[in-house]
Structure 1
Amino acid sequence: MVGQEGAGQPEVGRRAVGQLWRPRADPGRLYRFCSNAHHEACNWLVPEDAPGVFCLACRHNRTIPDLADPTNLAHWRKIEEAKRRAFYSFIRLGLPLINRVEDPENGLAFDFLADPLGEGGTKVMTGHDNGLITLALVEADDAERNRRRTEMGEPYRTLLGHFRHESGHYFWDRLVRDGGHLEACRALFGDDSEDYGAALQRHYNAGPPADWQEHFVSTYATAHPWEDFAETWAHYLHIVDTLEMARAFGLGIAPRVEHGEELAAEVDFNPYRTTEIAPVIEAWVPMTAAVNSLNRCMGAPDLYPFVISPAVVEKLAFIQALVHGTLPGAEAGKGGS
């Protein structure tokens, strides 16, 4: 494994890392490619006068795999692509993005780790620990990830999904616990002081309750209030990001139905900026019905195989209010980056 924090500037690589560029979006300023462009793992830019060599997303990397192994390099590139998509949402929402150099105790950092060679080593587990998110490199192998998806009974297991879920644990610390919203969160998601290990063991032994779809967005959300929050957080990011893309393409859904236009939807608002959950859900439900139907026509799994119950809508509304700082009481602890 290779540490990345504070790494030096590489020699000019395939993306001409050492050259300066003047983007049309900001013509008054010169930029250079992120240092990880040298590995064809990043295409983001860094201002010429910025003190570091990494972009806003890559500066959170703590450990990357040994890139002398071509398989590791290929997997890491896929992971970085998913990470940038996750960071796009963090930036659009103005979430606090502090790295471990800026705050060694509370900063957000990533370890991308390969399983040890041989049969005796302990496999890497994807998870979160006090701001450090570990992602098993093997998750970038499509066959292995699909095997785990089936084995774990997770209908939606993706690299982007991992980033969004695990970031939910980190932002729970920053926005809920440190932001003064602990009691409000517990009133909706449950008591997080419940023994986490025992709750997970119970979940894996007994499975979810029979009526889980009435109260939770996924089976894993039933394991513990922390997981319920993280799963709901991830789904909020899934929803607003997908709706923004639909809006960018001018997509609208107006199916031919016998009685009225109950399923009609047009994304005529900014999903990342709205502070009302109703228009989000009113656009999302018919949109997913349409894309799921299109996938079925191609013999592919549903794009969004989940049910949004009224209880889940209430939880999504909490997440929305949390990220926009509109929850009553203490400040949500947001900080732009």
Structure 2
Amino acid sequence: MAGLDPMKLFFCSACHQTAFFENDSCARCGHRLGYDPARRAIIALDPMEDGVTWRSVGAADAPDAARFCENAELDACNWLIPAADRHRFCLACRHNQTVPDLTDSGNLSRWRALERAKHRLFHTLLQLNLPITDRHEDPEHGLAFDFLADVPGRQKVMTGHDRGLITIALREADDVERERMRINMGEHYRTVLGHFRHEIGHYLWDLLVQRGGPLDECRALFGDDRKDYGAALKRHYDEGPPADWRENFISAYATMHPWEDFAETWAHYLHMIDALETAQSYGLRTDPHVPEPDLLRAHADVDPFRSADFHALAGVWLPMIYLLNSLNRSMGFRDAYPFVLTQPVLDKMAFMHRLVHAWSRTTPSDR
């Protein structure tokens, strides 16, 4: 993977065929592929004699032997575990507390869609060096997921976060149902990955802000989180957002309560970071033929994970939004990113970036 860091453009280590994050086999040479979270790389593999472990092919610094997460048997994961590791599940899957009844084929396909989004989330969290301790290691503050299907005759499952436990309603992985909800709720954007990024924002607010973090600075930007959440929720659905919400918030839902503003903004921060990682890997450069090209000119040569300069990231991201939306319109699709990033919103995203880099500078004993 030399020359590609961060590594969104993956390739088969055996034949160098380009591969994607979710691939589990190489279309050119036929090798089994697995994602090594320690190296953030896709590795080509050959089976070992025991039929359980695999040896890497063409990746000199890879583990001598590895095995797949148990969820690979269900075609829901392609992540590797060192052969000597005691865990049955990979770094992403071991956070699952509850999964739906997988003997139901509909549940199985929807759960796989949730896992694809969750694994992409974990790739970004690992790149940002953010806390992903599971509940076996930290019962009080560990991260866990419940993926729950609706039960006829009972109240519908609500997606949400509660002290490290993130619940995702399985119906969110149903494209038709999710689009119906998006329209009914008047949303510009509703994706499975967006749900994961929003809910992890609540979890990280607890860890990075509430527990000894820059709480006063956070309140100055997002508002006082001590406001009654239940009353704020009722007011939001009874009255809707303020008329001028677009001037200061990334979405109408962000106006409901400071916690939701933080989580919504965090989701968009991860949208930006992930997209910039991809753009950097592709060497994206824009030089538009317009009267004022400086407004839309950008070169994605900045590392979104290691650069502490948020202004440099935003300087690439804003022209990229125009490009993404223009390409989508050329194909007859809705805008890929139908949001307006005002200066107050950018200030909030810059706070997220400072928060991440402050965490990465601390030692485990300080956390």
TM-score normalised according to structure 1 size:
0.90
The structure showing larger relative contact order (alpha-carbon pairs under 8 Å, at least 6 residues apart) is 1
Q: Which runs of 5+ in 1 are unaligned?
A: 1-14
Offset, 1:294 = 1.3
Aligned residue for 1:325, secondary structure, equals: helix
Corresponding position of 1:4: none
Aligned residue for 2:167, secondary structure, equals: strand
- The CA distance in 2 between the partners of 1:98 and 1:259, in whole Å, is 48
Aligned residue for 2:295, secondary structure, equals: coil
Q: Which of 149, 164, 167 is residue 197 of structure 2 equivalent to?
A: 164
CA displacement 1:218-259 (0-9 Å, x = unmatched): 111110000000011110100011011011111111111113
- The CA distance in 1 between the partners of 2:144 and 2:106, in whole Å, is 23
Aligned residue for 2:314, secondary structure, equals: helix
Q: Conserved in 2, the CA contact under 8 Å of 1:41 and 1:77?
A: yes
Q: Conserved in 1, the CA contact under 8 Å of 2:160 and 2:199?
A: yes
CA displacement 1:198-226 (0-9 Å, x = unmatched): 11111111111111111111111110000
Aligned residue for 1:261, secondary structure, equals: helix
Corresponding position of 1:61: 96
Is 2:53 aligned against 1:22? no
Corresponding position of 1:222: 255
Corresponding position of 2:271: 238
Is 2:310 aligned against 1:277? yes
Moved over 6 A (4+): 331-335
AA partner of residue 277 (structure 1):
F
Aligned residue for 1:239, secondary structure, equals: helix
Taking only aligned residues, the RMSD between alpha carbons, in angstroms, comes to 2.0
AA partner of residue 298 (structure 2):
A
Aligned residue for 2:294, secondary structure, equals: coil
CA displacement 1:110-137 (0-9 Å, x = unmatched): 0000001x3x211110000010000001
- The CA distance in 1 between the partners of 2:290 and 2:146, in whole Å, is 49
- The CA distance in 1 between the partners of 2:52 and 2:111, in whole Å, is 22
Alignment of 1:166-245 (within 5 A): 166-245=199-278
AA partner of residue 111 (structure 1):
D
Corresponding position of 1:40: 75
Q: Conserved in 1, the CA contact under 8 Å of 2:53 and 2:83?
A: no
Alignment of 1:1-337 (within 5 A): 18-22=52-56, 24=59, 26-116=61-151, 118=152, 120-325=153-358
Offset, 1:333 = 8.2
Q: Conserved in 2, the CA contact under 8 Å of 1:264 and 1:286?
A: yes
Q: Conserved in 2, the CA contact under 8 Å of 1:179 and 1:332?
A: no
Q: Which runs of 5+ in 2 are unaligned?
A: 1-33, 35-46
AA partner of residue 229 (structure 2):
Y
Task: Give the length in aligned residue pairs.
Answer: 317
AA partner of residue 253 (structure 1):
T
Q: Conserved in 2, the CA contact under 8 Å of 1:241 and 1:272?
A: no
Structure 2 CA distance for partners of 1:149 and 1:323, relative to 1, 3 Å: same
Q: Conserved in 1, the CA contact under 8 Å of 2:208 and 2:359?
A: no
- The CA distance in 1 between the partners of 2:62 and 2:328, in whole Å, is 41
- The CA distance in 2 between the partners of 1:181 and 1:226, in whole Å, is 15
Offset, 1:334 = 7.2
Q: Conserved in 2, the CA contact under 8 Å of 1:36 and 1:42?
A: yes
Offset, 1:326 = 7.2
Corresponding position of 1:9: none
Offset, 1:270 = 0.3
